[in-house]
Amino acid sequence: ATPMSIVTGTGKGAQNGILIKNAEALERFEKIDTLVVDKTGTLTEGKPELVYMLASGGVSENELLTLAASAEVGSEHPLAEAIVAGAQKRNLDLRPVTEFTSTTGEGISARVEGRRLSIGNGKLMRRIAAWSDELAGEAETRRVQGQTVMFVAIDGQASGILAVADPIKPTSQNAIRALHDRRIRVVMLTGDSEGTARAVGEQVSIDEIHADVSPEDKHRIVGELKAEGRVVAMAGDGINDAPALALADVGIAMGTGTDVAIESAGITLIKGDLQGLAQAHSLSSATMRNIR
Ligand code: ADP
Ligand code: MG
């Protein structure tokens, strides 16, 4: 029963790119039976690229992208960066923006040259405009391919959709298989749509998927899993993951993610992927056996 075993345990973890903050985190990690993961930036690279757009209602594709990118300049969301980069790639000149507002986990709104732009997920955009079967159908076609779809309304009129692709990290599938071998159930929580979540989840064999969830929902679902008697680790990278990370029995932050997530977590994955997590779990069991 020596602190030395803990030092050795955490030392071996660090060699594998896994930083364990304290003995308590190590001790709890051994007992987990459920790993909750965020999709974007945890299972996927978190570097989305604009791959598709469809304009409608008399707006050209270049105009749609110019207005959307102008409005998104004020947002730090990776999706916003993908839209701005997409416009730059096409050499489109962005326009001045006023009245920018953002709704976490849903989207943004801004005024561009007198026109009211709204960009976001289905939940937000159903409140703002009526979407044709063509736009809704194309959105679903993109989602089943694992792409993330954003709806764009101009002055309250449905004006198009933008889709981004965010590749799955090459290590995600093996990491989850290794966790399954250790009888750990893997649950995905994402603010993205059901279709996109399923397409990604199936590729990496996720056991349970909750899509269209807000940061508050993520926190609530972790609480429900704990109330069912599960011992829960949660891995995430964003500000929207921080409350859930703090509530989990063990919070796991991506080293490549936001500082808020890292501060909320007991474990940090320096390389920013799930690889090595199963190994760290076996290491924590071995370390705890030495201590007892
Ligand atoms: P995740 O849980 O995958 O990290 P978020 O909770 O940050 O996702 O966002 C959920 C959804 O809200 C996104 O898939 C997107 O449709 C929409 N959204 C969020 N921020 C923006 C933004 N700046 N511009 C457009 N859409 C956004
Ligand atoms: Mg995220």
Which comes out higher in pLDDT, residue 126 or 4?
126
Residue 177 pLDDT > 60? yes
Task: Reply yes or no on domain 49-165 having CATH 3.40.50.2020.
Answer: no
- Our answer on whether the CB atom of 108 is closer than 6 Å to any ligand 1 atom is yes
pTM for the model: 0.87
Please count the CA atoms within 13 angstroms of the CA of 117 that sit on its side-chain side: 33
pLDDT tens digit sequence for 236-275: 877 778 889 889 999 988 877 677 777 778 888 888 888 8
Q: What is the pLDDT of residue 91?
A: 97
Chain-wide mean pLDDT for the chain? 89
Average of pLDDT values for 280-291? Answer: 75
Which two tokens mark 225?
A: 């899993």
Q: Where are the domains of the chain?
A: 12-45+168-291, 49-165
pLDDT of residue 22 exceeding 50, the answer is yes
Nearest CA owner, ligand 1 atom 5: 105
3-state SS of the chain is CCHHHHHHHHHHHHHCCEEECCHHHHHHHHHCCEEEEEHHHHHECCCCEEEEEEECCCCCHHHHHHHHHHHHCCCCCHHHHHHHHHHHHCCCCCCCEEEEEEECCCEEEEEECCEEEEEECHHHHHCCCCCCHHHHHHHHHHHCCCCEEEEEEECCEEEEEEEEECCECCCHHHHHHHHHHCCCEEEEECCCCHHHHHHHHHHCCCCEEECCCCHHHHHHHHHHHHHCCCCEEEEECCHHHHHHHHHCCEEEEECCCCHHHHHHCCEEECCCCCCCHHHHHHHHHHHHHHHC
Per-residue confidence (pLDDT) for residue 276, from 0 to 100: 79
Is the pLDDT reported for residue 2 higher than 70? no
- In the numeric block, the tokens 């890292």 are attached to 262
12-45+168-291 and 49-165: same fold?
no
Give residue 1's pLDDT band: very low, low, confident or very high (50, 70, 90): very low
Using a CB cutoff of 5 Å, list residues around ligand 2, an ion.
38, 40-41, 238
Q: Give the tens place of pLDDT for each residue, 88-108.
A: 999 999 999 999 999 888 999
Burial of 99 (C-beta count, 10 Å sphere; 0-12/13-18/19+):
exposed
Identify the CATH number of the domain defined by range 12-45+168-291.
3.40.50.1000
Higher pLDDT, 9 or 168: 168
The yes-or-no verdict on residue 70 having pLDDT over 50 is yes
Quote the ipTM score: 0.94
What mean pLDDT comes out for the span 281-289?
76
pLDDT at 7: 52
| CB 119 less than 6 A from any atom of ligand 1 | yes
| 42 Cα: distance to centroid of ligand 2 (angstroms) | 7
Active site residues: 38
How do residues 181-229 score in pLDDT, each as one tens digit? 999 999 999 999 999 999 999 999 999 999 999 888 999 999 999 999 9
Place of tokens 């680790």: 233
